[in-house]
Chains A and B, each alone.
Chain A
Amino acid sequence: MTTGMDRFAALLTGKRPDRVPIVCNLLDQGAKEMGVSLKEYYSRGDLVAEGQLRMREKYGYDTLLGMFYSALEAEALGCRNIIYADDGPPNIGHLVIGSTGDITKLRLPEDLDDNPRFREMTACIGHLKRESAGRWPVLGVVTASFSLPAMLMGIGPYIDLFLNGDTKLLDHLLTLCSQFCSRQIIALREAGADLIVYANPVASATFITTSKFRELALPWVIRDLEQPGPAGVIFFNGGGRINPILADLKRHTGLGAFYLNPFDDIAEARSTLGPNALIVGAINDIRLIDWSPLEIDREVERLMLTGKQAGGFIFGTLLMPFSIPEPNIRAMMSAAVSYGNYGSEDACANQN
């Protein structure tokens, strides 16, 4: 049986797998799978791991997601109130940096494992790694230093700071966030993550211009990856368009995989990146809530045709909303397996 790891390994060595690998980012849905509330689900790494394993088995995609929720990083840095919902990801209810004066008080934890939730998450990754037994790549997720402050102080005050605020304070804040990001990447790898999804929404072209990206964000991407190295790190759009910044990322960071936004053009990305980089093309998963199976089929077909033509292609989702009906997830998976098939004759042929 060809596994997700085989498919990724083929792509990483410039070969063509049997079909396009599929990344399906189901997260909160695992609580439903396990029959528990989201709050209980995220209190235990073994529950999250079991939820992830069951969902992968149920739908047949190619990766295992070793993530809890984005706000966990704010928790590890001192956020005291996480708001749970019944039908969506936990939210930040307390800003660690209430005013710019708090920036100098921000401290990194001595040991990331001091935070019980972080400990549960790394335990979850370890559990997934063991159960996977080399068959399905385990994804760890970190927030880039340039985007992390949005969770610590709110996006409005953060935009104020990086556009027109005190540059020394900004540098101090981002230095700490970068150290935190690098340490997390290393910790997640040690826990068993095969690939690291590096989420940087505030650096995307949806948030800042390309000139601001070069001036303000790019140096921090380079710094985040300096110590852990860029191997196996996927630059994730986080909900913003990234095509306009791909050329700079390729030139300066050593990154080899890029997770596009549904509004990014796949062919344009390939043209910018050249033949070797891996591209993850994402479906607009908010539309999966109410698209008909036929509409889902057509959209997956469109993405797969473009992606296969581009080469080095992985099919993906963003973080799938809780309210997507199961039949629609199945319809997406069925279409992705069908249209992503390269045919046995071509399997493992050189593609670049």
Chain B
Amino acid sequence: MTEALVQHTLGAYLKALFDTDKATALRIVQEALDNHMTPESVIFDVVVPGMEQMIGGMISDNQITLSQHFLASQIAEEVTDRLLPLFSSAPAIQGTVVIGTSFGDFHGLGKKIVTGCLRARMFQIIDLGINVAPERFIEAALETGAEVIGISSMMVHTATGDRGPKKVRQLLREQGLEQKIRLIVGGAPYRFHENLYREVGANAWADTAASAPAVVAALVKEVRQ
């Protein structure tokens, strides 16, 4: 396997992501494996950089669209799931994240995009789905030893309401869990209001799905210190 092959594969993969062409993206992954690229290299040299360059908006002057975000993350998750069992040794898990949409919120797109990004970066994800009660976030984090709870909200009232992140923060405080579990939020309302995450009691928010792994990694590090 040569550096030239990696660069060629990454370039072709990026083009397929930009064109939202899933079939071609998956075919490029398969061709790379057929050309003896290791599963580890496919993930860390093609799929993850592809996803991060795509979602980070580094391959176009135009802003990247949600459908491109969605597809890049979806393919990353699918390929990661398929190739992880083929790794020569089990990868180190970077941390565990319990994720879901806030109570009363039935919009799962943002959560899905972030989940794909985190899984490809070797975080273990406990996906609680949509419309999640605040108590359930705490319960799942305790059951799985998660360092981070991630709450996605599409609507202002589910981001700021009494049964959303604010309640999760209250429960963390009441149960003395604030040093053990960090809270991150994301979703449309936070993009319109950069300080909203503080007002709902979160430790952090990520501007893009691509930046989520770094922000979550920093939170995991804080907890583990």
Contacts and interface: CB of A to CB of B under 8 A. Distances in A.
Contacts of A206: 63, 65-66
A36 to B, nearest CB: 18
Interface stretch (B117-125, B156-164, B174-182): B156-164
Interface in B141-160: 155-158, 160
A212 B62 CA distance: 14
Contact of A163 (B22, B62, B109): B22
Nearest to A28: B157
B67 A286 contact: no
Contact of A159 (B23, B67, B199): B67
Nearest to B189: A286
Interface in B186-212: 188-189, 192-193, 196, 199
A91 B106 contact: yes
Nearest to B66: A207
A158 to B, nearest CB: 10
Given A88-B155, A92-B106, A205 B160 contact: no
A209 B65 contact: yes
Interface in A251-297: 262, 284, 286-287, 289-290
B42 to A, nearest CB: 21
A205 B65 contact: yes
Contact of A262 (B21, B109, B161, B192): B192
B105 interface: yes
B107 interface: yes
Contact of A205 (B63, B112, B156): B63
Interface residues of A, number: 33
A93 B71 contact: no
A284 B20 contact: no
Given A156-B109, A163-B20, A212-B20, A85 B70 contact: no
B100 to A, nearest CB: 15
Contacts of A321: 156-157
Nearest to B112: A156
B156 A88 contact: yes
B157 A88 contact: yes
Nearest to A94: B106
B108 interface: yes
Given A163-B22, A212-B67, A88 B106 contact: no
A322 interface: yes
Given A156-B70, A212-B67, A85 B104 contact: yes
B70 A159 contact: yes
A274 to B, nearest CB: 23
Given A93-B106, A286-B192, A323-B156, A87 B161 contact: yes
Contacts of A284: 192-193
Contact of B193 (A88, A154, A287, A322): A287
Contacts of A241: 63
B94 interface: no
A148 B108 CA distance: 16
Residue of A91, A206, A212 most packed against chain B (CB within 10 A): A91
B65 A207 contact: yes
Interface string B17-48: 00011110000000000000000000000000
A83 interface: yes
Contacts of B53: none
Contact of B155 (A89, A156, A163): A89
A78 interface: no
Nearest to B24: A164
Contacts of B22: 163-164
Interface string B86-114: 00000000000000000011111100100
Contact of A209 (B68, B108, B199): B68
Given A89-B155, A156-B112, A164-B23, A239 B66 contact: no
B193 A87 contact: no
Interface in A179-220: 205-209, 212
14 contacts: A83-B104, A85-B161, A87-B157, A88-B155, A93-B106, A155-B107, A159-B66, A159-B67, A206-B65, A208-B65, A287-B192, A289-B193, A290-B199, A323-B156
Given A92-B106, A156-B108, A322-B157, 19 more contacts: A87-B161, A88-B156, A88-B161, A91-B106, A159-B67, A163-B71, A164-B21, A164-B22, A205-B63, A206-B63, A206-B66, A207-B66, A209-B20, A212-B20, A212-B67, A286-B196, A287-B193, A289-B193, A321-B156
Interface of A: 83, 85, 87-89, 91-93, 154-156, 159-160, 163-164, 205-209, 212, 239, 241, 244, 262, 284, 286-287, 289-290, 321-323
Interface of B: 20-23, 62-63, 65-68, 70-71, 74, 104-109, 112, 131, 155-158, 160-161, 188-189, 192-193, 196, 199
The 7 closest A-B pairs by CB, nearest first: A88-B157, A286-B192, A321-B156, A164-B22, A87-B157, A155-B109, A163-B20
